[in-house]
Chain A
Amino acid sequence: MTDTHEQEKKQFKRLFQQQGVEQFNLTFQVLEAFLKLEKHVTIKDILAQLKADDVKLDEGFVLNGMELLCRFGFANKIEFDDKETQYEHRHIGLHHDHMVCTKCGSILEFKDEAIEKLQHKVADAYGFHMLQHKMEIYGICSNCMAHRDERVQLHKAKKGEKLIIKAVDAGKNMQMRMSSMGLKIGDLIEIVSSGFGGQVVIAAGENRLVLGKGMAEKITVQLFDQGKALDSHEDTPPREISLPPLLLSQLKTGQEGIIRKVSGESILRRRLLEMGINRGSTIYVEKYAPLKDPIELVIKGYHISLRVEEAANILVENVKYRKR
């Protein structure tokens, strides 16, 4: 690491002398202090280091200096959610990603070749030319996890957590209401926000739903362990997260999927809903017409035909081939 640091300093001298940066020596001091510090540092950390090195510089200068370092690729600015701006070393050619614990705030660096490759693959699949990327995984670190209950009531869940509904301790009325909102036991939900008077906003599929405190208290949820769900086949996840939802018009003959969203103009949308094409129903592509336009679909046990352009308003997930 020190080698790289020496190299960085050399490059810095060459670059900045060429550019004729004002107060070159002082900026160099900032770099030296910054390089001495590993991990992620705030402006305050750098000021502290400078103080320890007996260099007196004011905060504004250091801030400008760091901006300069960022511009020339010696440092990386990281702005995590609601945190002070932090800087980290940027060694050209070397790259890593971050994991941020939403509970204790610790940041972990990691690098995974498989992910790096996968990103290129995904970009390619979409015909996207990837230039660079930034990846931040938010979650709860192993330390915090060790001190946490598996099952909690919904109103106690943290923002951003993905959870599976495990039990609903309520009367028939409320169960009906839940199902009318499209929620059922086993569904995967995500907490969008919580805490405003016990009200919880959750995301289920594409929809945001608001649950009052009374309702949230009666719902028991379990943390959805994505890693485990993807690995083990016994406890398959309720929704396959790995597959992106598709437009119904993209499905091929013999495929089926679960309707996730019906969009489009109000009349069309209502017509579709009236014909039974509503969220949560399974829809099967029976065939395309010989001229490729209307599609024959099977929904709720009967056959219906839709034009391709109309089918493009329907988003389906869990797409797979069905054997007839």
Chain B
Amino acid sequence: MSKKVTIALAGNPNCGKTTIFNNLTGSRQKVGNWPGVTVEKKEGMLRHKDYDVKVVDLPGTYSLTPFSIEEITARDFILNESPDIVVAIIDASNLERSLFLAIQILELGRPAIFVLNMADVAEAKGIKIDEKKLSLLLGLPVVFTIGNKNKGIDKLVDAAVGEIHRFDEGKESRDIRYSNEIEACISKVETEISQSKVNIESVLRWTAIKILEDDKIVKAKFQELSSSASTKVFQTAKACRKRIVDLFEDDFEIVLTDDRYGVIAGIVKETVSNSAIKRIDMSRNIDLVLTDKFFGIPVFVFFIWAMFQLTFSLGAYPMEWLGMAVSLLSESLDKILTPSMFKDLLLDGVVAGIGSVVIFLPNILILFFCIALFEDTGYMARAAFLMDRVMHTSGLHGKSFIPMLMGFGCNVPAIMATRTLESEKDRILTILMTPFMSCSARLPVYIVLAGSFFAEKAGTIIFSLYFTGIVVAIVSGRVLKAVLFKGEEAPFIMELPPYRMPMLKSLLIHMWERSKMFLKKMGGVILIGSIIIWALSSFPKTISYSVDYDEAITALTSNYSQQMMLAGDPETAELNRQFILKVKEIKNKKEQERVSKSYIGRIGKALEPFFEPIGIGWQASVALVTGFVAKEVVVSTMGVLYGVGSDEGDALEKALKNSGMTALSALSMMVFVLLYVPCFATIVMIYKETSAKWAGFNLIYTTMVAWVMSFLVYKMGILFGFG
């Protein structure tokens, strides 16, 4: 009989937790989100002797205070899901700070073991840790590991399983003792709680400490259990807190934090011996260049440029192949299947829809490989260090820079790249601002419109559009920060971890797991979305055309065939050419009418009053509505609606000029394209990465901003006589 146990891995960011997790579980892992929050949750399985071990990787944190979602998530998991054991992973080369978290984990009262990782780095630094003494002092097993060399991993599992066993036999975790004043407070509150006879689920001492620390979550939970008892307990806690403030002139939690460091200093003193080995600090030397006053930013720009090139230029080849594969598939399906509605659905809906997403896969793979490389080497923190000043002006974090920049390529991977941001508020803000970065799909629209109406000034106009996008993003950032995220600025305290050689295995796991999530999530929603859009544009099937086009074509055919029969050889070719052109014209007209009378066309027409004040006619309105699917579609829809084939750039230019569109309305339309919802896939991504609320907000917000800006451009233009 195999026994099932759950191990939770906890530790600071950059302590090598992920490496240990990968070593433990190999490729058998599941990446998802923690319920309700967008913190990545990783799970994996392994077999050890008689045990089926489930390993859960908790978010990397420095503490267990209830200030960030990561910390709450980690704490809640340990308390509510009760893993059989918590493995606190400690960076042996950075013992003091790592112990701060480890001791808080110990205080939760769950079975725990301490793992001293990166033992080799510590040794090279001249740090010797007496693990037996540490184990004795804290009353739990202590294991050394070297994560990236896969050393000590078996011992880790052994120790974990052994400790679970000991707890089954009645072992209890050891308490950490603080100074007398603090202890007096703790025991007072403890007594009060136990007298109240409320059945708290967590450890008494821990609950007492948390109530004393004025922990809102624990207090709320306790109040729920018994509001009468809580009043009394909270009063005692308040009196104790006041006493501490009187004595130390500082809040209880601050005094306790100081005290914890006092305890840790004691432990370190007992167990660590330092031999002064002077060693070249590689990280420092690398940073002499990478974060240098002069070289830092150029080098960073180069790295970003390289990433951009790799993602969008190198990625363009496999993207093309995939595109070809998709069209090959649709062509062969076209041949095999007999014409039916199902065929249309399959070809124009499913294959086209899924195809339009699948082609992003190479970009996503490369992008995530680059990001994983930045993260695993430690460069990501430096990038944030370099760019924070810039991003801070719009209320963002330094790490927001990379996603924002990726937005110029494609908003979908850019939004996924925001996962590197630890604070959810920063992440949401970055996600909301990214769509203002003009993605590559918007460029064809600018090229057609600016090319048609601004001729040699087109370059300047397109550049100004990109620039406008950036300005709108910055202003939006500031406004949203001031309105929606008021007073919740997370402090920018970021560790700059030592540079480390990345491990290919972990890079690949990183890349693949995130890409897989992209495919899985996008697949479902995009499929449904594509079908809806397809249905809107191809129904109703029975359209009463104003002219009988088929009749016209038949008439034309008979007319020309008669003429051709009568004509001589040289004229036949000329007549044939005329014939083909005329048929095409009629067919275009038919398609034009069909699209305008389809549901999507009706929506476009219905929206005409909405677009009228910004100088956009009904054809362009329909194009903008279809542009919701993807911006590339805007140009092809305009092609259809202005009665030319989508592949004829020159003809479209003429048609646009003849349609009465002015330079000003073209500019207004470009501004609108720049600022409104980039595409359906982006909205889905926002929904997946945040919530329906934020996706809806983004939809409305971007459209509103787009309309207001276009309106301003258009009306100002008229005012200054450019109409």
Contacts and interface: CB of A to CB of B under 8 A. Distances in A.
B266 interface: yes
B705 to A, nearest CB: 28
Interface residues on A, range: 35 or more
Interface stretch (B195-203, B313-321, B491-499): B491-499
A267 B253 CA distance: 10
A149 to B, nearest CB: 30
Given A180-B178, A271-B67, A290 B94 contact: no
Contacts of A177: 179-180
A120 B621 CA distance: 75
A289 B492 contact: no
B297 interface: yes
A254 interface: no
Contacts of B251: 266
Interface SS majority for chain B = helix
B493 A302 contact: no
Contacts of A289: 291, 296, 385-386, 388-389
Contacts of A51: none
Interface residues of B, number: 53
B179 A180 contact: yes
Contact of A274 (B62, B287, B296): B62
Contact of A207 (B248, B287, B398): B248
B389 A310 contact: no
Given A179-B262, A306-B493, A270 B97 contact: no
Contact of A210 (B247, B384, B388): B247
A300 B96 contact: yes
Question: Could you tell me the dominant secondary structure of chain A's interface residues?
Answer: mixed
Given A209-B248, A290-B297, A302-B97, A274 B65 contact: yes
B257 interface: yes
Nearest to B496: A303
A269 B492 contact: no
Contact of A276 (B96, B262, B283, B494): B96
Interface stretch (A122-130, A153-161, A236-244, A291-299): A291-299
A305 B262 contact: no
Contacts of B392: 293, 307
A197 interface: no
B257 A273 contact: yes
A289 B43 CA distance: 38
- In this complex, which of A180, A208, A266, A271 has the most chain B Cβ atoms within 10 angstroms of its Cβ? A180
B265 A268 contact: no
Residue among A269, A272, A290 with max Cβ neighbours from chain B (10 Å)? A290
A270 B265 CA distance: 18
B716 interface: no
B398 A294 contact: yes
A9 B266 CA distance: 72
A249 interface: no
Interface string B254-275: 1001110111011000000000
Most buried by A among B97, B284, B287, B491: B491
Contact of A306 (B178, B254, B492): B492
Contacts of A195: none
Given A276-B100, A289-B389, A310 B492 contact: yes
Interface string A254-270: 00000000000011111
B63 interface: yes
B179 A181 contact: yes
B389 A294 contact: yes
Given A177-B179, A179-B262, A276-B100, A294 B492 contact: yes
Nearest to B180: A177
A207 to B, nearest CB: 7
Interface string B272-284: 0000000000011
A73 interface: no
B292 interface: yes
Interface string B233-249: 00000000000000111
Contacts of A105: none
Contacts of A274: 62-63, 65, 100, 257
Given A179-B262, A287-B291, A290-B296, A296 B495 contact: no
B390 interface: yes
B294 interface: yes
Contacts of A291: 297, 386, 389-390
Contacts of B494: 294, 304-305
A213 interface: no
A210 B248 CA distance: 8
A179 B180 contact: no
Contacts of A180: 178-179, 258-259, 262-263
Interface in B83-119: 93-94, 96-97, 100
A176 interface: yes
Given A270-B257, A305-B494, A176 B266 contact: yes
Nearest to A210: B247
A137 to B, nearest CB: 27
Contacts of B457: none
Contact of A179 (B265, B287, B291): B265
B293 interface: yes
A178 to B, nearest CB: 9
Contacts of A171: none
A297 B711 CA distance: 49
Nearest to B269: A179
A271 B257 contact: no
Contact of B491 (A267, A276, A279): A267
Nearest to A177: B179
Contacts of A304: 493-496
Contacts of B258: 180, 182, 273, 278-279
A279 B492 CA distance: 20
Nearest to A281: B261
A16 B65 CA distance: 72
Contact of B249 (A208, A267, A278): A208
A251 B622 CA distance: 60
Contacts of B293: 287-288, 290
A275 interface: yes
A217 B499 CA distance: 51
Contacts of A227: none
A247 B65 CA distance: 27
Interface string A161-186: 00000000000000011011110000
Contacts of B493: 271-272, 275, 304-306, 310
Given A272-B493, A278-B258, A293-B392, A305 B100 contact: no
Nearest to B294: A290
A176 B262 contact: yes
Contacts of B389: 289, 291-294
A176 B137 CA distance: 15
A20 interface: no
Contacts of A296: 287, 291, 385, 496
Interface in B377-415: 381, 384-386, 388-390, 392, 398
A46 B261 CA distance: 61
A198 to B, nearest CB: 16
A290 B63 contact: no
Contacts of A293: 388-389, 392
16 contacts: A180-B178, A209-B247, A209-B248, A270-B67, A273-B258, A275-B495, A278-B257, A278-B261, A289-B385, A290-B291, A290-B293, A292-B389, A296-B291, A296-B496, A306-B493, A310-B491
Interface of B: 62-63, 65, 67, 93-94, 96-97, 100, 125, 178-180, 247-249, 251, 253-254, 257-259, 261-263, 265-266, 283-284, 287, 291-294, 296-297, 381, 384-386, 388-390, 392, 398, 491-498
Given A181-B179, A273-B258, A278-B257, 16 more contacts: A176-B262, A177-B179, A180-B258, A182-B258, A210-B247, A270-B65, A270-B257, A271-B63, A289-B296, A290-B294, A296-B287, A300-B96, A301-B94, A304-B496, A305-B492, A306-B493
Interface of A: 176-177, 179-182, 207-210, 266-276, 278-279, 286-294, 296, 300-307, 310
